[in-house]
């Protein structure tokens, strides 16, 4: 039993490294594949071992996926809206930026363990009360996020939210499509990033390996804000790390770019980790991997939850070290890799997988989603508005 779980966690760490480092490959893809072939895997592994694999993979993923998102997909013109991670990369401090997000993710492990008892104790009784307000809460948060865009971009952000939302509704109601979330999320969030990295010949300046030793007061503010916003978005449907980061940023008030990176890392790990706790507390999955976990575990017990928390702590701590290692490798070798070819290869792979997983019509979703995702890049509007693809269906679900 222990040995089996240990192996599962180690395999999960390896899977998390792969999904984390390959741009455009999401943990949902692995979760979906595992779930649809669970009959095969359950032949030689227990359900809880498969779940430990998924939890370990998704936590490791949240540490490592900051590496491609900071090192790749840098806008080529000196746009005003350049993200803190990219601006540090352009200063030659990509490694330090990754180190900050990894620190945030590492502290997030303890925040998850801190928040879990509150989730377990209070969510079951208060969630029912919350349900009636989910639609208004989502509307308020979405509007807040749209209005937080700069001048002249609010209308475009609203348009993107609606386009993604309509795509989400059409996709989720398209009963001939298998695994509709795969082409939907890949199209909106995966392929556009890859296409942009092919279109732009972004020159990444020479990187130096340095780590800021000074601990800012802002770091604590960032972590405190991530506790509040992370524990809010983790149990609400349709909201994820990107929304959490913006909500957290406005809770914290002024944050320097370093503190923002801490916040970003922390929120992404918190939303995934607390998503599993929310599954236990309210029996509702809030992200793709939690869906798979919910289906694998017929009854989710408190002991299993504690095991999963231990798995998160273990794999997360290893992921912290792995992230520093890979960030160092990326910083040194980034110029040598032909990212155009890699990106082209991954796009082809994703298109083939879409046809295999979702069928021919899935390709139509992928292409439509990609076009909408590309519009966000061209207009330089934050990708989080594309989460309208899930938020709008949820709002309608709770309103109707």
Partner 1 sequence: MQTPLLIKISLTTAIVGLILLIYLSQNLEPKIISISEVNFEMLDNYVKITGTITEVRQTQGLYIFEVGDISGKITATYFKDKIIDKSFEFSIGDEVEILGKVSEYEKEIQIEIVEIRKI
The whole-angstrom separation of Cα 272 and Cα 284 is 13
Listed ranges 7-15, 96-104, 160-168, 311-319: which one lies at the site for partner 1 (CB under 8 A): 160-168
Measured between alpha carbons, how far is residue 97 from residues 257, 291, 378 in Å?
A: 9, 32, 25
Determine if 155 is a binding residue for partner 1 (CB under 8 A). no
**Residue 56 sits in the site that holds partner 1 (CB under 8 A):** no
Q: What is the DSSP string of 128-181?
A: HHHHTTHHHHHHHHHHHHHHTS-TTTHHHHHHHHHHHHHHHHHHHT-TT-SSTH
69, 211, 399 from 208: Cα distances, Å: 18, 9, 52
Among 10, 90, 166, 344, binds partner 1 (CB under 8 A): 166
Pick the closest to residue 17 from 272, 323, 343 (CA basis): 323
Number of C-beta neighbours around residue 346 at 10 A: 20
Separation CA 400–CA 93 (nearest Å): 49
138 closest CA partner among 171, 161, 156? 161
The answer to whether residue 47 forms part of the interface with partner 1 (CB under 8 A) is no
Q: How far are the Cα atoms of 8, 279, 291, 294 from residue 299, in angstroms, in the given order?
A: 20, 11, 14, 8
Q: Which of residues 7-46 bind partner 1 (CB under 8 A)?
A: 36, 38-39
Is residue 174 within the footprint of partner 1 (CB under 8 A)? yes
Q: What is the closest distance, in whole angstroms, from the C-beta atom of residue 351 to partner 1 in the complex?
A: 15
Q: What is the DSSP letter of 206?
A: P
Nearest in space to 225 (alpha carbons), one of 184, 254, 200 = 254
Contact flag: residue 127 with partner 1 (CB under 8 A): no
* DSSP code for 37: T
Among 6, 46, 375, 383, binds partner 1 (CB under 8 A): 375
Please say which residue, 173 or 348, places its beta carbon nearer to partner 1. Answer: 173
Q: Calculate ∠ Cα 115-213-14, nearest 5°.
A: 55
Enclosing H/E stretch for 218: helix 217-233
> Alpha carbon of 273 to those of 154, 181, 230: distances in Å?
32, 20, 10
Q: Least Å distance between CB 252 and partner 1?
A: 33
Contact pick of 18, 120, 367, 383 for partner 1 (by CB under 8 A): 367
176 binds partner 1 (CB under 8 A): yes
- What does 325-346 look like in DSSP terms, one character per residue? HHHHHHHHHGGGS-HHHHHHHH
Q: What does each C-alpha distance from 20 to 189, 208, 223, 270 come to in angstroms?
A: 14, 22, 23, 16
The nearest distance, CB 292 to partner 1, in angstroms, is: 12
Q: Does 368 bind partner 1 (CB under 8 A)?
A: yes
Task: Closer to partner 1 by CB, 179 or 231: give it.
Answer: 179
**Is the Cβ of residue 178 or residue 216 nearer to partner 1 in the bound state?**
178
**Residue 356 within binding range of partner 1, rule CB under 8 A:** no
Nearest residue (CB) to partner 1, 163 versus 322: 163
Q: Which range of residues in 50-58, 95-103, 147-155, 168-176 is near partner 1 by CB under 8 A?
A: 168-176
Shortest distance, position 30 Cβ to partner 1, whole Å: 16
Rule CB under 8 A: say whether 374 interacts with partner 1: yes
Q: Please report whether residue 361 would count as binding partner 1 according to CB under 8 A.
A: yes
- Using CB under 8 A as the binding rule, whether residue 171 contacts partner 1 is answered as yes
Count residues near partner 1 (CB under 8 A): 31
CB of 178 or CB of 383, closer to partner 1: 178
Binding partner 1 by CB under 8 A: which of 21, 193, 251, 364? Answer: 364
Q: Is 220 in the site for partner 1 (CB under 8 A)?
A: no
Binding residues vs partner 1 (CB under 8 A): 36, 38-39, 163, 166-167, 170-171, 173-176, 178-179, 199, 283-284, 298, 361, 364-365, 367-368, 371-372, 374-375, 378-379, 397, 400
């Amino acid at each position: 039993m222990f040995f089996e779980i240990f192996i599962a966690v180690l395999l999960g760490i390896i899977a998390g490294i792969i999904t984390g480092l390959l741009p455009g490959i999401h943990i949902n893809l692995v979760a979906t594949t595992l779930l649809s072939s669970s009959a095969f895997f359950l032949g030689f592994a227990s359900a809880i071992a498969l779940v430990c694999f998924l939890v370990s993979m998704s936590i490791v993923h949240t540490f490592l996926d900051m590496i491609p998102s900071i090192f790749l997909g840098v806008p080529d013109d000196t746009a005003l809206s350049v993200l803190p991670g990219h601006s540090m990369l352009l200063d030659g401090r990509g490694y330090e930026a990754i180190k900050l997000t990894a620190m945030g993710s590492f502290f997030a492990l303890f925040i998850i363990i801190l928040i879990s008892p509150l989730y377990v104790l209070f969510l079951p009784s208060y969630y029912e009360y919350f349900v009636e307000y989910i639609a208004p809460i989502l509307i308020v948060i979405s509007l807040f996020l749209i209005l937080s865009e700069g001048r002249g971009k609010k209308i475009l952000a609203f348009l993107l939210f609606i386009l993604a939302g309509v795509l989400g509704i059409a996709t989720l109601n398209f009963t001939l499509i298998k695994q509709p979330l795969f082409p939907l999320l890949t199209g909106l969030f995966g392929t556009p990033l890859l296409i942009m990295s092919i279109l732009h010949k972004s020159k990444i300046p020479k990187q130096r390996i340095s780590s800021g030793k000074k601990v800012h007061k802002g770091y604590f503010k960032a972590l405190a804000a991530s506790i509040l916003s992370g524990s809010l978005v983790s149990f609400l449907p349709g909201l994820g790390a990107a929304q959490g980061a913006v909500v957290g940023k406005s809770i914290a008030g002024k944050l320097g770019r370093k503190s923002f990176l801490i916040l970003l890392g922390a929120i992404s790990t918190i939303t995934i980790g607390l998503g599993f706790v929310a599954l236990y507390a309210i029996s509702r999955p809030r992200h793709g991997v939690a869906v798979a976990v919910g289906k694998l575990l017929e009854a989710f017990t408190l002991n299993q939850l504690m095991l999963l928390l231990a798995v998160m702590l273990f794999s997360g701590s290893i992921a912290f070290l792995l992230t520093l290692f890979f960030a160092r490798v990326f910083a040194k070798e980034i110029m040598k890799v032909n990212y155009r070819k890699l990106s082209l290869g991954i796009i082809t792979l994703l298109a083939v997988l879409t046809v295999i997983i979702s069928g021919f019509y899935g390709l139509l979703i992928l292409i439509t989603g990609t076009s909408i995702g590309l519009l966000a890049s061209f207009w330089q509007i934050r990708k989080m508005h594309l989460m309208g693809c899930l938020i709008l269906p949820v709002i309608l679900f709770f309103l109707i």
